[in-house]
Amino acid sequence: MSVATDPPLDVATIVAAAPLIRGKSKEIWRLGDHRCLVRLIPSLSSFTYDRHDLFAGTEVLRLDFFEMAARRLQQAGVPVAFEDRVGPDLYIADYCPGPPFEVIVKNVATGSTTRKYPDLFREGHRFAHPVVKFDYRVDPEDQPIAEDYVREAGCDAAAMKALALETNRVLRAWLAPRDLHDFCLIFGTDRHGRLGVVSEISPDAMRLKGPDGGSLDKDLFRRGGSREDILTVWTRLVRELRAA
């Protein structure tokens, strides 16, 4: 999306004020009409495993990963709201309000696929073609929703699906030889009406396995891993990606 050209911000003054939005994983402050400041919260949460915690340091590693992922996608022509990092856990982005839908790309049957559709696919089944599904974002757990509903709500479901698949292609190539099982995205539109990725892309929002099959993602948390366990694995992942 657009490239930041404005003068440096007084970040300390901005974050001293109440954010416009405070979610489970981030806080957002508006910067004029078209941009915003985002601060990641060191939260990890799993509805399925009923585990919710704050692990200091994970927010920095999530942003380390997201910064690299955003640049890769932008270089490949995929619009991403991320503009510039301005602190360990802070970044500037286009302000792109999005609809209440999440788009999930599945390369492998795991997680909600095997939980919600038992006996349809075995755990670890590799799809011949990536599966794209839509969820309606609602507490306490997002709910699957038919693509037709998304379209009737005024969204271009076909464009969202196409952009999700292109994101999948770029991420899989970048992350290889690691195996990207699935990930989720939120889309929004910028001031020019252009569709793009507005959500964080990080190990907190995907299932990513190492060449040895080990978890490099939030499954570490889901399965009871400690803060130190997660920091160790994510630090190594970020270091390897930077060195590639």
User: b/e map of 56-80 (b: 16 or more CB within 10 Å)?
Assistant: ebbbbbbbbbbbbbbebbbeeebbb
What confidence category does residue 209 fall into, taking pLDDT thresholds of 50, 70 and 90?
Answer: very high
Whether the pLDDT of residue 1 is over 80: the answer is no
Placement of tokens 């693509």 in the chain? 147
Amino acid at 186: I
| pTM for this predicted structure | 0.94
Average model confidence (pLDDT) across the chain = 95
- Contact (CB, 8 A) for 68 and 241: yes
Nearest-angstrom CA–CA distance, 130 and 108:
8
- The per-residue pLDDT for range 109-154, each reduced to its tens digit, is 999 999 999 999 999 999 999 999 999 999 888 999 999 999 999 9
Q: Which domains are seen in the chain, by residue range?
A: 11-94 (3.30.200.20), 101-226 (3.30.470.20)
Q: Which two tokens stand for residue 104?
A: 């999930």
Q: How distant, in Å, are the alpha carbons of 70, 73, 84, 174, 236 from that of 76?
A: 10, 5, 17, 11, 25
Nearest-angstrom CA–CA distance, 232 and 175:
18
Whether the pLDDT of residue 199 is over 60: the answer is yes
Q: What is the pLDDT of residue 5?
A: 54
In degrees and rounded to multiples of 5, residue 51 shows phi and psi of: -130, 130
Helix, strand and coil percent figures for the chain, each rounded to 5 = 30, 30, 40
- The per-residue pLDDT for range 69-117, each reduced to its tens digit, is 999 999 999 999 999 999 999 999 999 988 999 999 999 999 999 999 9
